[in-house]
Amino acid sequence: MKQFKQMFIAQLKLTLREKQAWFWGIFFPVILMVIFMTIFSGSSDSEFSANVAIVEENPNATSEMLLQQISQIPVLEIETSEPVSRKEADELVKDKDVHAAIVLPESEDATSLLLVVNKENEEGVTTQALSGMLNHFVQEANLYAAGATPTYELQFESISSSSNELSYTDFLLTGMIALAIAQGGMFGMVDLVEMRRKGLIKRLRMTPANMNLFGLSDMIMRLLFSVIQIILLSLIGVFIFGANLYINFPSLLIVFLLGALSFNALGYFFSSFSKTTEAYMGVANITSFLMMFLSGVFFPIETMPEWIQPISNVLPLTYFVEGLRESMVYSTNIFSGTLWFGIGIMVLWGVITFMIGSWLYKLKSIVATR
């Protein structure tokens, strides 16, 4: 314990003297979260709407009836007060001044509506929503024309795992906190590579110092940065972006401590085989990039393609994100079996990578003495 205490104090002093550590450990995650929260949460809670242009080049009874019905759809905002020509509508769609153009029938006997969209947005969410709404509109028009009265109707209700009202901002905030802490662990051990390059690790091996304690002291010191991160990011998310947190503190404490240590162990593992700072940053960047988009930080894993989901289900960040959401948003009890299953996989990653990293450092120590 005395040796560990001395190593921890030394690591802390080195980190506090390094201004870059403060930037990458504290300020960079804040900047990253603000950017992503601004991009992804800006319109998530607003009601869907779409701008459309109406084409009625040959007014008739059918087109007048359809125009009247379309005008009553609340989510459609008609761009101009009067219908436009097909040429004008095409220009509006090409210039992306409107989401789509609706071409009304040119005669009373015509039976089709034409939806014109920009090729670049053909697979977009707005286009798909417009297509679905117009299909529903046409089906109702067919029933009306046939004199049939609709018998069934669809009602909609959403429920949540939490007893509180949740929003996408809450979902995104916890994902960004998990990502920031994970990146702090994976990128935070780069100083070990620099120490080895300068020969400091070699000198340390010549002393009675325990290399396992040396790595563990560095990881614990990084844990302090993670504490600052989770507090700072939570305050920004709540007071600036209006997120709501419903925290179960025992669950959060367990998930946070074990998660932060697991990702510090992953960074320790990267440092054990990286010969240069550039090599370390390359490995950490690739790993961070893959997990950022495959671990449910921004979107639920269930919405991803089925062939990607098995990959997501083995990544440690997936379970760290879920654990933080369970404890910070859903207020999940600490005795939850699902919570501990995720914690177990995450800790398994940490234990295995730390043991391999320690073995590689010990192996290099043996080789260096021969």
User: If 0-12 CB within 10 Å is exposed, 13-18 middle and 19+ buried, where does residue 277 land?
Assistant: middle
Q: Which residues of 247-266 are buried (b: 16+ CB within 10 A; e: fewer)?
A: ebeebbebbbebbbbbbbbb
Question: What confidence score (pLDDT) does residue 45 get?
Answer: 47
In a domain, 121, yes or no: yes
In a domain, 159, yes or no: no
Residue 166 has pLDDT above 70, yes or no: no
pTM: 0.69
Identify the H or E element spanning 77.
strand 76-78
Residue-wise pLDDT tens digits, 194-225: 777 777 767 766 666 666 676 677 777 777 87
Identify the H or E element spanning 117.
strand 114-117
Tokens coding 245: 């947190």
Give 318's pLDDT tier (boundaries 50, 70, 90).
very high
Contacts of 296 (CB under 8 A, 6+ apart): 175, 312, 318, 321, 322
In a shared domain, residues 342 and 209: yes
CATH number at residue 95: 3.40.190
Q: How far apart are CA 94 and CA 116, in angstroms?
A: 10
In a shared domain, residues 250 and 339: yes
Residue 341 domain boundaries:
2-43+167-368
Instruction: Give me the mean pLDDT over the 249-274 stretch.
Output: 90
If one counts the domains in the chain, the total is 2
In a shared domain, residues 17 and 67: no
Tokens coding 280: 């370390």
Query: Which stretches of 113-248 are DSSP H helices?
Result: 125-145, 168-187, 190-197, 200-205, 211-239
Residue-wise pLDDT tens digits, 19-68: 666 666 677 777 877 887 787 665 544 566 788 889 888 888 888 888 88
Half-sphere exposure of 39 (CA within 13 A, CB side): 8
